Chain A
Amino acid sequence: DTGVSQDPRHKITKRGQNVTFRCDPISEHNRLYWYRQTLGQGPEFLTYFQNEAQLEKSRLLSDRFSAERPKGSFSTLEIQRTEQGDSAMYLCASSFATPNTGELFFGEGSRLTVL
């Protein structure tokens, strides 16, 4: 199966520590998205890349958050100086830019717990 994979699946950290999540999209997809999902809510858009270019960032993405996709393949999402409010599921999705079917393919997510 060559779906979207995310690592780690679960991360527990102490407040103030830095964490990094990795996403490997479906290999043929050139768009990659990061979403955040808290309990009882739908996914909230954070940012997306087309190839290596970061084309849009949400206001939710504070200065403590940074995302990269250096070679247009895998992506990392780093959270610096974590806060308890950062506890959430971080979802990665990928899609085709062309042809654009409008379908996002999601990974299983990386759950962050900040103590």
Chain B
Amino acid sequence: AQSVTQPDIHITVSEGASLELRCNYSYGATPYLFWYVQSPGQGLQLLLKYFSGDTLVQGIKGFEAEFKRSQSSFNLRKPSVHWSDAAEYFCAVAANYGQNFVFGPGTRLSVLP
């Protein structure tokens, strides 16, 4: 069965600084990988996804993520964080195309003015 770890429970960055959120997965075959964001009082929203092909994927709101098979990682990055990026970020892996997503525990991002 697949699993996801997000080593950082809480990260604080200053507005304008760069951001990297870590995600490591465990799955025997080629995974389908996702990053979702959850703002307070709102539903989870897809930021980006990786199925195959180019290992650097671009998402919404200026986010990108890189799939590294050798490290079993799918880290999320943003070059310059905005105050509105403060939220909870979840990495997820799916064994089958679009079925039975397994989510990580999440990383809470705080942004200092």
Q: Among the listed A45, A48, A100, which residue makes an inter-chain contact with B97, where contact means beta carbons less than 8 Å apart?
A: A100
Q: Which residue of B lies closest to A42 (CB)?
A: B103
What residues of chain A lie closer than 8 Å to B84, measured between beta carbons?
Answer: none
Q: Which residue of B lies closest to A4 (CB)?
A: B43
State whether A104 touches B46 (Cβ < 8 A): yes
State whether A42 touches B90 (Cβ < 8 A): yes
The complex places the Cα of A104 from the Cα of B34 at a distance, in Å, of 10
Interface size of B by CB at 8 A reads: 26
Interface size of A by CB at 8 A reads: 27
Q: How far is the CB of B92 from chain A (nearest CB, A)?
A: 8
Q: Which residue of B lies closest to A6 (CB)?
A: B43
State whether A108 touches B106 (Cβ < 8 A): no
State whether B43 touches A109 (Cβ < 8 A): yes
Q: Among the listed B36, B101, B102, B106, which residue makes an inter-chain contact with A41, where contact means beta carbons less than 8 Å apart?
A: B106
What residues of chain B lie closer than 8 Å to A41, measured between beta carbons?
Answer: 105-106
Given known A-B contacts A4-B43, A40-B105, A91-B44, A103 and B49 have beta carbons under 8 A apart: yes
The complex places the Cα of A66 from the Cα of B106 at a distance, in Å, of 27
Q: Among the listed B9, B98, B104, B105, which residue makes an inter-chain contact with A102, where contact means beta carbons less than 8 Å apart?
A: B98
State whether A102 touches B51 (Cβ < 8 A): yes
The 4 closest A-B pairs by CB, nearest first: A42-B103, A106-B43, A106-B44, A102-B98
Residues of A participating in the B interface, judged by any CB pair closer than 8 Å: 3-4, 31, 33, 35, 40-45, 48, 56, 91, 93, 95, 97, 100-109
Residues of B participating in the A interface, judged by any CB pair closer than 8 Å: 4, 9, 32, 34, 36, 41-46, 49, 51, 90, 92, 94, 97-106
